Each structure stands twice: as C-alpha cells, then as structure tokens.
Amino acid sequence: MRIAIGNDRNGIDYKNRLTEHLESLGHIVVNCGTDEDFPADYPVHGERVGRLVASAECDRGIVICATGIGICMSADKVKGVRAGMAYNDDVARLMRVHNDANVIGFGQDFMTYEEVEKRTDIFLTTGFAGGYHCTRIQQISDIENNKPIAQTPIMNKDNKHTKGQ
C-alpha cells in the first residue's frame, strides 16, 4: 500500500517511528510533513496528504500534529477525502467499516506512540462494509458538491445501532 504521511513539528517523532514501522511491513511511505523542529503550518501538510489520497496517488493517508485536529480538518477539506481522528481502537476500525475513511489523524501530545501504531494497523487492515453505508458516503460526497441531502428511509425508529458494529 502507498501511504502519504504528513505532520507539523509536533508530529515529527511519531511520523518517523510510524514510517519505519510501515516500511518494515512493506508499505511505501510518502513524506508530506516537515522534518524541521520549528513552527510549520499544519494546513500545508494536511492538504498535501489529502491531495495525494484524493488523486489516488496514495491509497491512504496519515496526519499528525499536537492534537491531530487542525491537520485532520485540513486534509478533510480536500474533495474526496474522508478524514477522522482515531481516539480509540474501535473508532480506528469503525471509521473504515462505516465511513470508508481514507485519512486517519493523530495527536502526538495526547496519544502514546503504541496507541498510534496499533490504530494505524487497524485502519490499514480494515475494510469498508458497504451496504447501507454507501448511501451515507454518497451523502458526504453530495455535501462536498453543494447538493442538498435528506434523511433516507434506511434509518427509522426501529433500527437499532449496536455499539461497535
């Protein structure tokens, strides 16, 4: 798999360690982040990751900053990107299963490296469930294209969501 990874100075350590881990698994890692330990604009690095993923030059993306929020939001502004914060293991899995997320975000100041590595592995090895989730992915795409969306009949008061499905 070809993976774009971007970071500001607050994500250098995890980026470097994660790159080594991913390459040891046979992935190709494209560095879209800074390697300099001075202030860098996280939107620049998030956008780079987003554009590589949206253009299919990379299969997935990883973004890291202090909280993970700003760089994740930046990547998500690129049309075709579905980025999310993996704040626990279940979310790392469900963002793929339910949302077909193609970019995962982390906050180096709020997660251990071990958590980030584990959640990256989950994200990269989990597939999209398809089915009625495709309707929601289309709705997200319609929002990107400034098209109106409406509640669909797939969900009603009798549908039950079970945590973790």
Alpha-carbon distance 4 to 63, whole Å?
8
Q: Are the C-beta atoms of 37 and 8 separated by less than 8 Å?
A: no
CATH superfamily of 2-129: Sugar-phosphate isomerase, RpiB/LacA/LacB (3.40.1400.10)
Three-class secondary structure of residue 107 per DSSP: strand
Alpha-carbon distance 115 to 14, whole Å?
11
Question: Which residue numbers are catalytic?
Answer: 65, 98
Per-residue confidence (pLDDT) for residue 66, from 0 to 100: 97
Three-class secondary structure of residue 85 per DSSP: strand
Per-residue pLDDT of the chain (165 residues), as tens digits, is: 999 999 999 999 999 999 999 999 999 999 999 999 999 999 999 999 999 999 999 999 999 999 999 999 999 999 999 999 999 999 999 999 999 999 999 999 999 999 999 999 999 999 999 998 999 999 999 999 999 999 887 655 666 555 555
Q: Are the C-beta atoms of 10 and 108 separated by less than 8 Å?
A: yes
Per-residue confidence (pLDDT) for residue 155, from 0 to 100: 59
